[in-house]
Amino acid sequence: MAGAYDDAPSTRMAWDADGTVGLYSLSTSNGTGPSGGGFGSIPWSGANQTDMDGGNDEDITTFYKTVNSLSTADGHVMICLIFPELRELDGAYLNRNNDADANRWFYKSVDTTNGVDGAWADTSAAFSTSGTLPDYRDSITSMAFPGVKAVKGNMGVTGTNHNSSWRTIHLYGSISPAETPDRILFLDTENADAEFTKVLDFGDVPRGQTTTRTFKIINNSSSKTINTVSVTAEDLYLNAGDWYEFGNDGVNYQATYSVGNMANGAEETIHLKQVIPGGETLGVQAGRIKVSHDSVT
């Protein structure tokens, strides 16, 4: 445990940016189960990037999708997230509006190909209606579901002139073993260079403080070179992405650190500096370290 909040069950998935396909469906039927409410016949629509970012951020006012002021008695908004590879699902934080909602559920599948077919099982994830900040640190439902290909959920509404809204969908977990071996891994130099299995939590840090530490990245491929690798930081809400700079010597830092090409098995030690401005907004903030590349050969 770091600071005032419990540890997250695992690393938080960047499902808005990691190749996950986001789908949604709006309807005036209520969607009573994983195959109910005409689920198979209702057409899915692709979520745009704004919706994806809004669903995975920490802002309670940014809704993933919403049904407002329905003129009919019932309605729903369904979501589906299909991962590019199998995932170990270790937890979820789901936040919704506090209106006349019914038929809420959140399911997972290990074998779906399109969000409709395959077998689905209930995750028993809880739905929070509190403000996302700082509730997303306190109300995570822990899970232990291996080899998950997709999740989907329903937010129903019963009665006229109500609305049904997804506010936040945070998922915790990792890529399943043997999936996508040709990729970069983050290694914790403060844990014997083991791969990170939890969120890197700096705890309760005062404004105006500078903190430094190191981590490593490794090209996990046995045969491929990852070209023009760079490291930076970003956030989906507030300012935490601006707090971080990176370098290779603990002296010189920049917002974007260019690693260059990484041959198979190559490692790079990265020095990280966190500087929190003296006038920063008080409260919980979340940023994420991001590695990008131009090509794989």
The CATH number of 21-175, from 2.60.40, 2.60.120, 2.40.160, 3.30.70, is 2.60.120
Domain definitions of the chain by residue range: 21-175, 184-296
CATH of domain 184-296: 2.60.40.10
Question: What value does the mean pLDDT take over residues 154-182?
Answer: 86
- Does residue 38 carry a pLDDT above 60? no
Residues 6+ apart with CB under 8 A from 177: none
Percent of the chain with pLDDT over 70: 89
Per-residue pLDDT tens for 6-37?
899 999 999 999 999 999 888 766 555 555 43
Per-residue pLDDT tens for 223-238?
999 999 999 999 999 9
What 175-180 contacts at long range (C-beta under 8 Å, 24+ apart), as own/partner pairs, is 175/85, 175/86, 175/87, 175/88, 176/85, 176/86, 176/87, 176/88, 176/146, 176/147, 179/85, 179/86, 180/84, 180/85
User: In this predicted structure, what is the pLDDT of residue 117?
Assistant: 87
Question: What value does the mean pLDDT take over residues 43-66?
Answer: 88
- Does residue 161 carry a pLDDT above 80? no
DSSP sequence for 211-228: EEEEEEEEE--SS-PEEE
User: In this predicted structure, what is the pLDDT of residue 154?
Assistant: 86
Per-residue pLDDT tens for 87-131?
999 999 999 887 766 778 999 999 999 888 889 999 999 999 888
